[in-house]
């Protein structure tokens, strides 16, 4: 079993170095008291972000009460910890916790701290507090000389950034984000371009048409970097079988094919067992076609609710007159991320986002 993330970071060496760095810039700082408060009775039960916040608040309790004074000390201490990664997110976290009412010094500090460890979480409360003002700042950061700051400009305003608070106004209207993404789509840093794609993927979950229309324009820039952005940005829509996204990637929404001999065995499968299915795809077209072949499970959930989930099968180019044979086994083993329930289910074959047949079966 993989080691929990919380055990990989915030080790004793980091806290020793952090205490020493704070002591060097602020002699009244008490390393022994700091370490005792860090390793309180709740430490072992805290998850990764909880440990980060606990560290931030513990620092705040031992630094000067005046925010600007404390922040100045941390800005002096931070560079001596540049050998660490995620742990250094305590510095932008300090700004998030204590600096929301002092924008001038806080934004200068975030610009510095994000070059040690991303301030992508810390900028979000500022966006929620005054989106117009903060997005102007993010657009300015998009022109910064440091790729870490430019990445913050796009990563920090992702509407659905994992592990972070959502940004409902930008989920509803992502247009302020698009100004930043337009500026960064040709960025020299791969990490920045990948963040652009991740942001677009977030936007696509609430505004798929906005993303598809934007990428149709960007597709005119026929470079390998742009191809990677487009493919990465459309990954959620592609997984869902969105026909417009697939069309953009060269998969026709109405492929000239026929699905034959769809076979499912057994017709009743127990939870924990596997369902086998197979079918054939026959080309009825006069030219080669790109196919994105998926299957959709129509699943019974709790209290009689139903849902569907798309699973990837294969990508193929089919020649005129060619027939492809596809076979697969789907496990109904219970998982922490996926639960199965008894009832009448169905499997549907989907090619380029279009349905090509469905068969029902029972789960017991």
Cα–Cα separations (whole angstroms), residue 172 to 206, 210, 296, 355: 7, 11, 28, 30
- Of 196, 221, 248, the one marking the end of a domain is 248
pLDDT band at 301 (very low <50, low <70, confident <90, very high): confident
The domain total for the chain is 2
Same domain? For 77 and 209 the reply is: yes
Q: What pLDDT digit, counting tens, does each position of 183-242 carry?
A: 999 999 999 999 999 999 999 999 999 999 999 999 999 899 999 999 999 999 988 888
Report yes or no on whether pTM surpasses 0.85.
no
Q: What is the DSSP string of 172-236?
A: H--HHHHHHHHHHTT-S-HHHHHHHHHHHHHHHTT-HHHHHHHHHHHTTS--HHHHHHHHHHTHH
Same domain? For 152 and 235 the reply is: yes
Same domain? For 204 and 272 the reply is: no
- Of 223, 248, 273, the one marking the end of a domain is 248
Cα separation, 46 vs 174, in Å, equals: 34
Same domain? For 196 and 83 the reply is: yes
Spatial CB neighbours of 300, under 8 Å, sequence gap ≥ 6: 306, 341, 342, 343, 344, 345, 363
Same domain? For 322 and 357 the reply is: yes
Q: Is the pLDDT of residue 31 over 90?
A: yes
Could you tell me the two tokens for 135? 């997005």
For range 303-329, the mean pLDDT? 89
Backbone angles phi, psi at 73, to 5 degrees: -65, -40
What domain range is 165 assigned to?
Answer: 5-248
pLDDT band at 36 (very low <50, low <70, confident <90, very high): very high
For range 348-354, the mean pLDDT? 90
- Of 205, 224, 248, the one marking the end of a domain is 248
Same domain? For 165 and 277 the reply is: no
pLDDT band at 357 (very low <50, low <70, confident <90, very high): confident
CATH classification of the domain holding 25 = 1.25.40.290
Environment class of 69 (CB within 10 Å of its CB; exposed 0-12, middle 13-18, buried 19+): exposed
Q: What pLDDT digit, counting tens, does each position of 277-300 carry?
A: 999 999 998 999 999 999 999 998
CATH classification of the domain holding 319 = 2.60.40.10
Same domain? For 35 and 180 the reply is: yes
Angle of helix 147-155 relative to helix 190-204, nearest 10 degrees, comes to 0
- Calculate the dihedral angle through the C-alpha atoms of 183, 187, 189, 190, rounding to the nearest 10 degrees: 90
pLDDT of residue 6: 63
Same domain? For 172 and 61 the reply is: yes
Same domain? For 320 and 195 the reply is: no
Same domain? For 157 and 208 the reply is: yes
Q: Is the pLDDT of residue 52 over 60?
A: yes
In the block, tokens 């200068």 appear at 108
Same domain? For 48 and 172 the reply is: yes
Same domain? For 127 and 240 the reply is: yes
């Amino acid at each position: 079993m993989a080691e929990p993330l919380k055990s990989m970071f915030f080790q004793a060496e980091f806290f020793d170095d952090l205490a020493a760095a704070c002591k060097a810039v602020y002699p009244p700082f008490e390393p022994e008291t700091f370490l005792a408060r860090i390793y309180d009775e709740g430490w072992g039960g805290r998850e990764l972000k909880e440990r980060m916040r606990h560290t931030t608040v513990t620092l705040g309790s031992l630094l000067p009460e005046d925010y600007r004074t404390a922040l100045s000390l941390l800005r002096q201490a931070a560079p001596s910890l540049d050998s660490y990664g995620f742990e250094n997110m305590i510095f932008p976290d300090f700004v998030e916790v204590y600096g929301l009412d002092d924008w001038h010094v806080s934004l200068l500090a975030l610009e510095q701290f994000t070059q040690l460890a991303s301030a992508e979480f810390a900028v979000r409360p500022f966006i929620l507090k005054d989106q117009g003002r903060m997005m102007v700042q993010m657009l300015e950061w998009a022109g910064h000389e440091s790729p870490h700051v430019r990445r913050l400009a796009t990563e920090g305003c992702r509407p659905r950034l994992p592990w972070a608070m959502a940004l409902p106004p930008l989920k509803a209207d992502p247009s302020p984000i698009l100004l930043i993404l337009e500026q960064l789509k040709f960025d020299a840093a791969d990490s920045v371009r990948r963040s652009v794609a991740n942001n677009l993927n977030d936007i696509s979950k609430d505004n798929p048409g906005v993303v598809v229309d934007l990428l149709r324009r960007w597709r005119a820039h026929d470079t390998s970097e742009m191809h990677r952005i487009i493919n990465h940005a459309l990954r959620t829509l592609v997984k869902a079988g969105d026909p417009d996204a697939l069309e953009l990637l060269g998969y026709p929404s109405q492929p000239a094919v026929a699905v034959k001999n769809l076979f499912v065995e057994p017709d009743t499968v127990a939870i924990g067992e596997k369902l086998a299915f197979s079918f054939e795809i026959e080309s009825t077209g006069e030219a080669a076609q790109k196919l994105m072949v998926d299957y959709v499970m129509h699943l019974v959930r709790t209290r009689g609710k139903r849902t569907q989930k798309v699973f990837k099968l294969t990508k193929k180019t089919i020649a005129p007159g060619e027939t492809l044979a596809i076979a697969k086994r789907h496990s109904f083993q219970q998982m922490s991320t996926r639960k199965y329930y008894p009832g009448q289910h169905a499997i549907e074959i989907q090619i380029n986002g279009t349905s090509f047949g469905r068969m029902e079966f029972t789960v017991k």
